[in-house]
Amino acid sequence: GEDVEQSLFLSVREGDSSVINCTYTDSSSTYLYWYKQEPGAGLQLLTYIFSNMDMKQDQRLTVLLNKKDKHLSLRIADTQTGDSAIYFCAERNTGGFKTIFGAGTRLFVKA
């Protein structure tokens, strides 16, 4: 069945770049999303990419998609303490309402 996998933890120093990785299994995935969850809050949509794109940049965020390897990454430039949160990768295929979420990567930013 469909599955989305992420590493559980990532620790970086303030000012460094963070790279959060995700792999998915559904080759028909069309839309891939990154959500951010801060403590006690819901998931906030950060950015998304269509499967016909390789890269999308939005301010400090860069999303890279390797469709051949079914690998998605989120790079956060100049990581700040306010970026500490859980980041979820999610995928959805064309014609499907169902969104599959990974288990989330907890990002720790050290000052």
Residue number, 17 or 27, with CB nearest to another protein: 27
Residue number, 18 or 102, with CB nearest to another protein: 102
Residue number, 11 or 44, with CB nearest to another protein: 44
Q: Taking the complex as a whole, how short is the minimal distance between the CB of residue 19 and another protein, in angstroms?
A: 20
The distance from CA 9 to its chain's CA centroid, rounded to whole angstroms, is: 13
Site residues, another protein (CB under 8 A): 4, 8, 30-31, 33, 35, 40-45, 48, 50, 88, 94-99, 101-104
Residue number, 83 or 104, with CB nearest to another protein: 104
Looking at this protein, which amino acid is placed at residue 76?
I
Q: Taking the complex as a whole, how short is the minimal distance between the CB of residue 37 and another protein, in angstroms?
A: 9
Q: Taking the complex as a whole, how short is the minimal distance between the CB of residue 87 and another protein, in angstroms?
A: 11
- Cα separation of 103 and 91, whole Å? 12
Per the CB < 8 A criterion, the answer to whether 90 and 106 are in contact is no
Largest CA distance in the chain: 44
Q: Taking the complex as a whole, how short is the minimal distance between the CB of residue 101 and another protein, in angstroms?
A: 4
- Cα separation of 85 and 64, whole Å? 20
Per the CB < 8 A criterion, the answer to whether 86 and 37 are in contact is yes
